[in-house]
Amino acid sequence: MSAGELDVTLGAAGVGGLQTTEMVLNIGPQHPATHGVLRLRITADGERITAAEPVIGYMHRGAEKLFEVRDYRQILVLANRHDWLSAFNNEVGVALTAEHLLGLEVPERATWTRTLLSELGRVLNHLMFLGSYPHELGAITPMFHAFREREELQAVMEEFSGGRMHYMATRIGGLLHDLPQGWLDRVDAAVETVRGRMPDLLGLTLGNEILQSRTRGVGVLPLEQVLAYGVSGPIARASGLDVDLRRDEPYLAYAELFAEGGPGRVVTREAGDCYARLEVLAEQIEVSLDLARACTARLRELPDGPVSTKLPKVLKVPEGSHYLATENPLGFNGYYLVSRGEKAPHRLKLRSASFNNVQVLGRMLPGTVVADMVAILGSMFFVVGDVDR
């Protein structure tokens, strides 16, 4: 740790008759444990953390202000970048919000394709964290497995959109284009390849005795803190919160997929510790693979037809406001759109999952030891761009 990352705050405290000195440690903003430029200001008494403050803003790019000076087609480019591991899911949220105010009914073929791409994006997101989390604890092998599985799905996402990270496949009113010939077969093959390899990856992670000892009973997040801080997504469900917007406030084709007898189900755990959060992430991959197969089967049944609605060259959204939240891979992703009838939003406010999920660290870390800090921080599964927006 560099000298700039360590401050010593004078002031002795007696512990068991010994005189100890509280230290203020700055973990980050440039630190391998922080998923990017996040800073944690930790007060420690010996090995025990007594206070913690997440300090954000090092990556702030002003996306919400940039939305106000770009038209509705252009803001999709910005929307898929604040959480770069959930790019397609971000695009869909903006499009659905604008389409509501426009009163557009998107073609069914586009709706099911959007749902398919959203679930493939969810798997890509979760595989990244399933590989990177053990890496932060000292195990590099799961990272290689996770990236190999990601590559199977990246190939079909790239074939459809032309992009590997920022897909830009969504359009207001539908999609960029129809499905390439034979693409559904390649999606099914990729899904089954990933499914067949998942036991190896899970054996290296959830089945790893060292990882279990570092995560079981560590970083417990009680349900009341989940509710108080607005934590959502896999982290909240690992603490017993049975909420998933795909089932509870369905959008796209999720009403049918999460209906009784459908492949959709909500994954929860009760322990609320680091291991439970990893378990939820792993099981949600299986659910998303099932949902993807259901989408490809439905798309085969649908007749040929349009995948987008024809719109005027200059698109103006009618005056009004609307809030829509989607179940992004990391949690609730909400868009509050205010339109004054112009070609650019008057206001587009983001409610990103990572922002709330990071703030609860101030309550989770006090009382734990410094050695467990990395395990707890990594299990919160956040993207810094999604915090700072």
pLDDT value of residue 31: 65
pLDDT value of residue 151: 96
pLDDT value of residue 358: 92
Distance CA(170)–CA(308), nearest Å, equals 9
pLDDT value of residue 14: 47
pLDDT value of residue 10: 38
pLDDT value of residue 18: 63
pLDDT value of residue 19: 66
Distance CA(139)–CA(204), nearest Å, equals 9
pLDDT value of residue 177: 93
Both tokens assigned to 261: 């007898």
The pTM is what?
0.91
Which residues of the chain form CATH 1.10.645.10? Answer: 63-388
Q: In this predicted model, what pLDDT tens digit does every residue of 312-339 receive, in sequence order? A: 989 999 999 999 999 999 999 999 999 9
Class of CATH domain 63-388: mainly alpha
pLDDT value of residue 206: 95
pLDDT value of residue 21: 79
Distance CA(29)–CA(387), nearest Å, equals 14
List the chain residues with pLDDT less than 50: 1-15
